[in-house]
Structure 1
Amino acid sequence: MTEKELRQKVVDTAVSYLGCKEANGSHRKIIDLYNSHKPLARGYAVKYTDAWCSTFASAVAIACGLTDIIPTECGCERHIDLFKKLGSWVENDAYVPSPGDYIFYDWQDGSNYATTNNTGSADHVGIVVSCDGKTIKVIEGNMSDAVGYRKLAVNGRYIRGFGVPKYASKATSAPSGGGEAPTPGKDEKPTPGLAVGSVVTFTGTKHYISSMAVNGKSCKPGEAKVTAVAKSGKHPYHLIKTTGSSSTVYGWVDAADVKEVVPAIVKGSRVKVAKGAKTYNGGSLASYVYTTTYTVIQIDGSRVVIGINGVVTAAVNIKDLTLVG
């Protein structure tokens, strides 16, 4: 892979977790992935109830197999120390980052942030998705207890500094597919049209803790729903069994093991809400919602806004929706 492709791989992997949150426990796969990597930073296994922004940033590095250039940690200050030890720390709030760089924040930054360099204690971290020279788009774990996006100005308030992994040291001169030796799963591309929310028949017997994991665990085949997609992963789909399915899948799987695709839920789809489902933020829904057919108005990762005739009814998790007709 080229440096650009490596950076995009990190971004794509991070984005594959978009919408994972504490409210429904979907963030646990992030914690599990972090804890599966040995040796654990500080020898500490992160709990599901701990703050997990650095854990998320580290889990992405683990999933991508890049922990030699992206250190793993569960705390922001120690994370910065490790970037410094690798010679990958940029102590400059005004730095213009690239996709795949790590951005750290200090919520106590002063009002004179534009003319001073923030050297306070870091409180939070995210991964840069894009930057046009003026605005930085970031994806973060533990943002309001979920994986979500943030936008802020270059040299904006609260920027503490940047971890800048040495992607060039891992890059090849040729793009992926340009003469590299084949590896297991490398040629398994995600199925066109398959997306988060697609209901599929899982035919395999193994699932993995990350999209790039080497060793998998046994599970049973059956009907499942796609809950995340890692386009550059060896195991590009994260599946969770559907209600009533005989499958025990809960993890990343090979593209070759995903069959009989049911059309994905997209904007304009007619859907019904699973009985007992909550709003996306964990709130209650009126009883009539479960017996009414709605139209999908908007989709943002796993968050789906539904309504009737353009009037919004609620935002729900895509896993709680079933296509109608």
Structure 2
Amino acid sequence: MTENEIRQNVVNTAISYLGYNKQDGTYKKIIDRYNTYQPLPRSYKVTYKDYWCAVFVSVISMLCGLTDIMFVECSGNIMIELYKKAGRWQEADDYVPSKGDLLLYDWDDNGQGDCTGIPDHIGIVVEVSGNMMKVIEGNKGNAVAYRNIQVNGRYIRGYCLPDYGSKAQSTITNQQISKTAESNKSEKKVAYAKEKENTYAGKYLIIAKEGLNLRYKPGEISQDNLILTIPYQEQVICYGYYTTVKNVKWFLVTYNDLTGYVSSEYLKKEQV
């Protein structure tokens, strides 16, 4: 994908969570997904009582397979330090953000001089139009929601800038992707499934709009464990084999000529 496509994929993935909220409990899925990351940053398991804005951003990174450039962390303050170390922190007053940039807020900013306080909140820039921008945020009013704010407006602490350009590549064909995945497959082995249930056997459609990652091992969220990302609405076949990891069933499926694990939470069984 090009850099612009990667940025748009991050935004689209974030938008797919729009409306998740504390009242109906759907926000727990975001926290639960974050807690599957290994190793957990600072070995801290986020609770349902914690603030979860940075957790939301981290989950989007995990889903997009960008954790090496879009760092996983549940603290905005520590996230700033991570991006500073990577040379990807920006707080210049004249900076104009791009979609996919991470905006950090300081609610104690009085609007006078530079804002240098501890960040209180974080979101993902969705779009910039003139001197206004739209941001999508987790834990905004206890929900995933939009905010419109002026570029270089009050309360802006600065921006974390994932190095999307480093992940960009020229367009390649599906055949080339399959060959690459097949090459990786020859070096790594898919884990054995621990359980079988015949009622789970069948054909399934991918319902995650950002696509669904096919993995060698169930429940292990890492780039090294990734075979490829199966596009939205593509079909996979499960023969009833699966492994449960942290209450999530990971189905062993086939896709084209590849075999691996996918989370059953993002599958829809086709009617026979």
CA displacement at 1:63 relative to structure 2: 0.7
- In structure 2, relative to structure 1, the CA distance for the partners of 1:177 and 1:146 (3 Å cut) is farther
For residues 76 and 168 of structure 1, what CA distance do their matches in structure 2 show?
23
The Cα RMSD (Å) is: 3.3
- State the match for 1:259 in structure 2: 270
State how 1:25-40 maps to structure 2 within 5 Å: 25-40=25-40
Q: Residues 75-124 of structure 1: CA distance to partner in whole angstroms, max 9, x if unpaired?
A: 11001111111111102244211111100000011133xxx321111000
Give the partner amino acid of 1:181.
Answer: I
- State the match for 1:88 in structure 2: 88
Contact preservation (8 Å) 1:73, 1:79: yes
- State the match for 1:48 in structure 2: 48
- In structure 2, relative to structure 1, the CA distance for the partners of 1:205 and 1:234 (3 Å cut) is closer
For residues 181 and 206 of structure 1, what CA distance do their matches in structure 2 show?
20
The alignment partner of 1:80 has SS state of: helix
For residues 166 and 42 of structure 1, what CA distance do their matches in structure 2 show?
23
Looking at secondary structure, tell me which structure has more helix per residue.
2
CA displacement at 1:173 relative to structure 2: 2.6
- In structure 2, relative to structure 1, the CA distance for the partners of 1:60 and 1:156 (3 Å cut) is same
CA displacement at 1:25 relative to structure 2: 1.1
CA displacement at 1:164 relative to structure 2: 0.7
Give the partner amino acid of 1:22.
Answer: K
Contact preservation (8 Å) 1:93, 1:159: no
Give yes or no for the alignment of 1:123 onto 2:120. Answer: yes
Give yes or no for the alignment of 1:164 onto 2:161. Answer: yes
Looking at both structures, which has the greater relative contact order when contacts are Cα pairs under 8 Å and sequence separation is at least 6?
A: 2
State how 1:226-237 maps to structure 2 within 5 Å: 234=230, 236=232
Give yes or no for the alignment of 1:22 onto 2:22. Answer: yes
For residues 34 and 12 of structure 1, what CA distance do their matches in structure 2 show?
18
The alignment partner of 1:42 has SS state of: helix
Give the partner amino acid of 2:149.
Answer: L
For residues 57 and 51 of structure 2, what CA distance do their matches in structure 1 show?
12
- In structure 2, relative to structure 1, the CA distance for the partners of 1:259 and 1:179 (3 Å cut) is closer
CA displacement at 1:208 relative to structure 2: 11
Q: Residues 54-74 of structure 1: CA distance to partner in whole angstroms, max 9, x if unpaired?
A: 011111101111010011111
TM-score normalised to structure 1 length: 0.59
For residues 205 and 174 of structure 2, what CA distance do their matches in structure 1 show?
30
- In structure 2, relative to structure 1, the CA distance for the partners of 1:127 and 1:180 (3 Å cut) is farther
For residues 101 and 70 of structure 1, what CA distance do their matches in structure 2 show?
10
- In structure 2, relative to structure 1, the CA distance for the partners of 1:208 and 1:46 (3 Å cut) is farther
TM-score normalised to structure 2 length: 0.70
Contact preservation (8 Å) 1:53, 1:142: yes
CA displacement at 1:134 relative to structure 2: 1.1
CA displacement at 1:132 relative to structure 2: 1.8
Contact preservation (8 Å) 2:10, 2:100: yes
How many percent of aligned residue pairs carry the same amino acid?
Answer: 43
For residues 135 and 80 of structure 1, what CA distance do their matches in structure 2 show?
23
